């Protein structure tokens, strides 16, 4: 309870949570409010907003309802952002823990691998991976995680290097615990908070990367995505700018909400540490 009060103490955190709550509500309500295929033709092509209240934001070039696509696109953004961030944090935490706790040659090899991944921009790595393997939701998630795990890995390693020198780690070694058991049962849980603090950055990056891939035509063709909607509206930007503006605003608000909520987590954590 005290943690929740500390989290909601900042206006940024409240705004971020409200935006994310709206995104989650859209994702959950999409199949209820707009059942069936959101890519099915729902009306005349390029119907402007507020002309037909059954299609309040109008239709695109093929006559598909923009509001239905917007709600179903929230499901894709939320799924990709959370899945890619979760995969990146797990990979980074495992690699960082192994490197920091083992030290020596293992640390050197794992950090050189991390350096190799960091030399390639994450978006270019995701672009190349999806281009080779083929566009699908699982491939997009794997591609994004492949380019974003290095940050959590370095943070985890730095924390583990500090924690492994503490007395309880030495005591665990004395009583005969296996080094891997010590690393993942005793050390990793204490090294996780700084790693989890990166989750907002990773989620925001994942959502933007997915939108960029979809904009380039490398998203899952069977799912509605905000990046794909923006790309669809690009051809009629002068005559129907709402086709790109509406999903663009949704994308900006989502990333802003994730960032503000993450800032709230960091600030509340800093306050708890200062009080303790």
Domain ranges of the chain: 72-259
Largest CA distance in the chain: 75
pLDDT of residue 261: 85
pLDDT of residue 268: 67
pLDDT of residue 48: 93
Helices (H), 149-241: 150-163, 167-174, 179-181, 188-196, 199-215, 226-234
Q: Under CATH, which number does the domain 72-259 receive?
A: 1.10.3720.10
pLDDT of residue 7: 53
Query: Distance of CA 159 to CAs 35, 36, 83, 152, 246, Å?
Result: 47, 48, 24, 11, 42
Query: Distance of CA 151 to CAs 73, 139, 160, 165, Å?
Result: 28, 21, 14, 23
pLDDT of residue 8: 59
pLDDT of residue 208: 93
Structure pTM? Answer: 0.88
Helix, strand, or coil (residue 50): coil
* Average pLDDT of adjacent 10-residue blocks, the chain of 276 residues: 56 86 93 91 92 91 94 92 93 95 93 93 92 91 93 94 88 87 90 87 92 92 92 91 94 91 72 51
Phi-psi domain of 38 (left: phi exceeds 0; alpha: psi -120 through 50; beta: other): alpha
């Amino acid at each position: 309870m005290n943690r929740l009060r500390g989290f909601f103490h900042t206006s940024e955190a409240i705004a971020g949570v409200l935006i994310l709550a709206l995104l989650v509500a859209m994702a959950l309500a999409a199949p209820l409010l707009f059942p069936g295929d959101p890519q099915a033709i729902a009306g005349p092509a390029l119907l402007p907003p507020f002309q037909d209240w059954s299609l309040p934001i109008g239709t695109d070039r093929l006559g598909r309802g923009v509001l239905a696509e917007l709600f179903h696109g929230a499901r894709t953004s939320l799924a990709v952002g959370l899945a890619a961030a979760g995969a990146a944090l797990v990979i980074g935490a495992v690699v960082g823990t192994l490197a920091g706790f083992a030290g020596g040659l293992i640390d050197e090899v794992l950090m050189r691998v991390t350096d190799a991944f960091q030399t390639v921009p994450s978006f270019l790595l995701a672009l190349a991976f999806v281009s080779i393997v083929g566009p699908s939701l699982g491939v997009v998630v794997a591609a994004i995680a492949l380019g974003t795990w290095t940050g959590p890995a370095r943070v985890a390693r730095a924390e583990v290097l500090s924690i492994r020198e503490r007395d309880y780690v030495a005591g665990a070694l004395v009583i005969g615990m296996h080094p891997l058991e010590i690393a993942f049962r005793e050390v990793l849980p204490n090294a996780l908070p700084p790693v989890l603090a990166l989750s907002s950055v990773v989620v925001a990056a994942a959502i933007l990367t997915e939108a960029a891939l979809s904009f380039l035509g490398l998203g899952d063709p069977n799912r509605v995505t905000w990046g794909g909607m923006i790309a669809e509206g690009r051809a009629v930007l002068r005559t129907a700018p709402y086709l790109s503006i509406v999903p663009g605003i949704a994308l900006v608000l989502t990333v802003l909400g994730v960032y503000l909520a993450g800032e709230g987590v960091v600030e509340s954590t800093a306050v708890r540490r200062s009080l303790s």
